[in-house]
Structures are given as C-alpha cells and as structure tokens.
Amino acid sequence: MSDTEMMKLYSGRILELAADIPHVGRLENPQATVRKRSPLCGSVVTVDVVMADGRIAEFAQDVKACALGQAAAAIVGHAIIGCTAAELGDARDALHKMLSEEGPVPPAPFDGFAALQPARDFRNRHASILLAITAAAEAAETA
C-alpha cells in the first residue's frame, strides 16, 4: 500500500475514533456473548449484551483489532444503547452494502460509519470493519 493510500485510509477521524472506544470491557452477567474474528488479519471482537424490552440496555466490548476495526467498534459503541436486534441487523447489512456495493451510509444512529467510506477500495479490510456490528447484531438476536 502506498503512502497516499495509507493516508486516505487512515484519516485523522478514523484514528480519533480508534482512540475513543466506548463500553470497553466485559459485562458481569450478559444475556448473550458473541466473539467474532477476522481470518485475514486476526482482529477479534467480543461483545456482551443485556436486553430490556427488546432493546440493548447494557453493552460491553473487548476489541483487539486494527485501527479500522477499532474505529468501527467505537461507532457501534456510541450508537448501540437503545437499539433493537432488527436495527442492528439492518445497520450491519447497510454497512456491508456501503463497503462492498458502494451503497449509502447506514442511517442514524449508525451514520458515523461514513468515516469508513475510504475503506471501500480495500476489500481485505472489510471483515475487520464488520466485526463489531456483526457480533452486536448476533448477540442481540441471541439474547
């Protein structure tokens, strides 16, 4: 990857997000826990959720990922409280389409994924970016 490509991919906004991941850690009594790993880069995200009235009431995440995976986890962490499993599934699907099919940015509260649009051209990074939202959607569905 050239220096120009690196600068395009690792923008200041992405690095800011990666440095500010909310809800880091693990829950003591989660209703569901899901761990996802990207086979290409080895990034791993584990999420714990507690649902109340069909919505995320408590959330924690253990993120061991590249800057893009960390940035995506930060976006999920900032938006997830109060979401339903269906909303998380829709956000996951929209993010996948944004990355792989040049679809639109996921709607609010997940519109922060706009910062990751430069990653569209880097298919080998998509799996890491999708880890947190995929794990969160699966955990919400399981709970």
Cα–Cα dist 32/133, whole Å: 14
> Which residues are registered as beta bridge partners of 63?
45
List of domains in the chain = 3-141 (3.90.1010.10)
Are the C-beta atoms of residues 116 and 14 closer than 8 Å to each other?
yes
Q: Which band of pLDDT confidence, cut at 50, 70 and 90, is reported for residue 96?
A: very high
> Which residues are registered as beta bridge partners of 36?
45
What is the value of pTM for the model shown? 0.92
> Which residues are registered as beta bridge partners of 24?
61
Q: For 33-74, write each residue's pLDDT tens digit.
A: 999 999 888 999 999 999 999 999 999 999 999 999 999 999
What is the β-pairing status of strands 44-52 and 32-37? antiparallel
